[in-house]
Structure 1
């Protein structure tokens, strides 16, 4: 069995709307952030950190960087167990 984690950019969009985040971010920067987060290439930790920093910088919020990163980790990462491929 293997455990899989995948970033969900749609859930990140929903999270930003729910918490009223990214209010000072341009549409282009917002789209790029969502696309970069959802590419599922590279380190998941790095993508969460990058998105969290961008959100904090371009939001009027009382949330800390750690609060934002925790919310992303809990709500925007899909996790499941899968059968190990034995080719």
Structure 2
């Protein structure tokens, strides 16, 4: 379980840099981190990034407000970053 206070203290820059790295090892770590997310988190990521739905569409599909979907996506990105950093190779 990841502490949400920890996530709040992580800068967006290293998260963005890490998640945009397309190296094989990073992609493998990303996939393993995705497997650790709960079903709602996986759905949010899948709809927004893989299916390229808008925030409004994601919110409608999942029964969330657009602002709530945006906040959740932001937190999930940080959670994925932490999971990737904690992974032992």
Structure number with higher helix proportion: 2
Structure number with higher strand proportion: 1
| Larger Rg, first or second structure (1 or 2) | 1
Same fold (TM over 0.5): no
TM-score by length of 1: 0.35
